[in-house]
Amino acid sequence: MSLNIEVEPSLPFSTTLRLEGRLDNDTTAIFDEELEKALESSVKVLVMDLAKLEYISSAGILSVLKAQKTMVGRGGKTLFGYLQPGVKKVFDIVKAVDLRSVFASVEELDDYLDAIQKQLEE
Amino acid sequence: MRHKISLASEPDAIGPALDELESCLIEDGVSTEHVLEVRLLGEEAITNVVKYAGAASMALEVQVTREEIVVVLRDNGKPFDPASTESPDLEASLADRPLGGLGIHLIQSLSDAVSYSREEDQNVLRLTKRR
């Protein structure tokens, strides 16, 4: 099963990874490569837009956890857009994310990022 | 319906076996939600055997009834009982928490029943998901 990843340096302080498909044993290596590239820059906010991710296994969760650890280590944060119910269920079981970092919709997340951008500009 | 899926104990065999498992479940009219959850159970169980059991052979069987979906995985690797393995510490802070053991925890949490037996030289893992 396939995984498509779009990387969008949406704002100066953040990078967005938009995932579509399945993050599993076969596709995690692709995700890890993109993550590594995204984390080479000094972004303080890593956004994972998983609205179109329909499946995740422990292989993918491991990568998500490692990315969060890296961001915490540099004093940054990882934010998540809307999660499909099946993915959210798996995240909840393994407590993969802080619930405060998950937004109800991608729009809500974008608004939050815009607010941070405005604060930085002031 | 009962389906038998043969697979080699090697990483490249995992994806095709899971695709076949998924096709069988769809063919038997299983809902998308349960198809993906059973695929996940299969992925975690098979990956565990391929990575750690040192098995020379393995076999996957799935039986779908009106009430439940039962996945049975047999392998001739080292004895290992996922049903009685302790869950990792999920409450630890992100910096301190261990990253391993999530697959077994998912198997235990998503299955309605997990049973393990050692039959002759084989591990037999039976995962039941109610429909």
Identify the structural domains of chain A with CATH numbers, from first to last: 3-121 (3.30.750.24)
Joined tokens for residue A48:
């994972």
Within 8 A of B43 by CB-CB distance, chain A residues are: 24-25, 57
Which tops the pLDDT comparison, B35 or B83? B35
Q: Does A24 touch chain B (CB under 8 A)?
A: yes
Q: Between chains, do A58 and B37 touch, taking CB under 8 Å as contact?
A: no
pLDDT 10s digits, A68-82: 999 989 899 999 988
Q: Which of B25, B26, B43 to mutate to test the interface with A (most CBs of A within 10 A)?
A: B43
Residue B29 belongs to a domain with what CATH number? Answer: 3.30.565.10
Mean pLDDT, chain B, integer: 92
How many independent structural domains does chain B possess?
1
A104-108, B76-80, B122-126: least confidently modelled range: A104-108
Q: Which of A61, A92, A95, A101 to mutate to test the interface with B (most CBs of B within 10 A)?
A: A95
DSSP assignment letter at A98: -
Closest Cα in chain A, distance from residue B11 (Å): 9
How big is chain B, counted in residues? 131
Q: Does B108 touch chain A (CB under 8 A)?
A: no
Position A113 scores a pLDDT of: 84
Within 8 A of A85 by CB-CB distance, chain B residues are: 33
Q: Between chains, do B43 and A69 touch, taking CB under 8 Å as contact?
A: no
ipTM comes to 0.90
Q: Does A30 touch chain B (CB under 8 A)?
A: no
Q: Does B95 touch chain A (CB under 8 A)?
A: yes
C-alpha–C-alpha distance, residues A1 and A113, integer Å: 32
Q: Between chains, do B105 and A24 touch, taking CB under 8 Å as contact?
A: no
Mean pLDDT, chain A, integer: 89
| 3-state SS, residue A54 | strand
Q: Between chains, do B105 and A94 touch, taking CB under 8 Å as contact?
A: yes
Is the CB of residue A11 less than 8 Å from the CB of residue A113? Answer: yes
Q: pLDDT class for B95, splitting at 50, 70, 90?
A: confident
- Write out the residue range of the structural domain in which residue B31 sits: 2-130
Closest Cα in chain A, distance from residue B55 (Å): 19
Is the CB of residue A63 less than 8 Å from the CB of residue A30? Answer: no
Match 């998924």 to its residue by tokens.
B22
Query: If we measure between CA atoms, which residue out of A57, A28, A54, A96 comes closest to residue B110?
Result: A57
pTM across the whole model: 0.91
Q: Does B20 touch chain A (CB under 8 A)?
A: no
A17-21, A93-97, B61-65: least confidently modelled range: A93-97
pLDDT above 90: residue B48: yes
Q: How many other C-beta atoms can be found within 10 angstroms of the C-beta atom of residue A90?
A: 25
Q: How many other C-beta atoms can be found within 10 angstroms of the C-beta atom of residue B80?
A: 18
pLDDT above 90: residue B36: yes
Position A79 scores a pLDDT of: 93
A20 bridge partner residues? A4, A52
